[in-house]
Copies of this chain bind each other. A is one copy, B any other.
Amino acid sequence: MNKEYVQPPRGVRDIIGIDAEIHEYLVEEFREVARLNGYKPVIPPTIEYSKLFEAKSGPEIKRSMYVFEDKAGRLLALRPEVTASIVRIYLRKLRGEPKPIRLYYVAQCFRYEEPQFARYREFWQAGLEIIGDQSVNSDLAVAYTASYYLDRIGIRHKYVVGNVAFYRVFMDNAKVPNEIQDEILHIIDKGETDKALAKLRRIVSSNFLDIIGSLLNTSLNDIEELILDSRGMLGEDSIKKLLNEYRRTLVFIDSLRELGYTVEYNPMLVRGLAYYTGLIYEYKSDKLKQSIGGGGRYDGLTSIYGGPYEYSTGLALGIDRIALALTEDKTIGINSTREVLVIIRNAPLVNGYNLLRRLNKLGIPAWVIETNSIKKALRLANKRNVAVAVIIGSREAKQGTVTVKNMESGEQRVVGEDEAPDLIKHIISKGPLSEPS
Contacts and interface: CB of A to CB of B under 8 A. Distances in A.
B5 A384 contact: no
A59 interface: no
B122 A45 contact: yes
B45 A98 contact: no
Contacts of A288: none
Interface string A1-24: 110111111101111110011011
Interface in A17-44: 17, 20-21, 23-24, 28, 31, 33, 35-38, 40-44
Contact of A41 (B20, B41, B76, B92): B20
A71 B7 contact: no
A47 B9 contact: yes
Contact of A6 (B92, B98, B140): B92
B384 A98 contact: yes
Interface stretch (A198-206, A228-236, A275-283, A364-372): A364-372
B92 A14 contact: yes
A122 B70 contact: no
A37 B74 CA distance: 44
A17 B40 contact: yes
Nearest to A144: B353
In the assembly, how many copies of this chain are there? 2
Given A2-B305, A14-B44, A305-B6, A140 B23 contact: no
Interface stretch (A251-259, A325-333, A424-432): A251-259
Contacts of A89: 14, 16
Contacts of A100: 369
* Chain A at the B interface: SS class: mixed
A132 B49 CA distance: 42
A42 B68 contact: no
B74 A9 contact: yes
Contacts of A255: 348-350, 353
Nearest to A371: B135
A66 interface: yes
Contact of A43 (B20, B47, B135): B20
Interface stretch (A175-183, A237-245, A354-362): A354-362
A148 interface: yes
26 contacts: A1-B305, A1-B306, A2-B305, A7-B92, A8-B48, A9-B48, A9-B49, A9-B74, A9-B76, A12-B47, A14-B42, A16-B43, A33-B360, A35-B365, A46-B46, A46-B110, A100-B369, A133-B369, A137-B349, A137-B368, A137-B369, A141-B367, A144-B356, A144-B357, A148-B360, A254-B350
Interface of A: 1-2, 4-10, 12-17, 20-21, 23-24, 28, 31, 33, 35-38, 40-49, 51-52, 55, 66, 68-72, 74, 76, 78, 85, 88-89, 91-94, 98, 100, 102, 108, 110, 112, 122, 133, 135-137, 140-141, 144, 148, 251, 254-255, 258-259, 305-307, 337, 339, 341, 344, 348-350, 352-354, 356-357, 360, 363-370, 380, 383-384
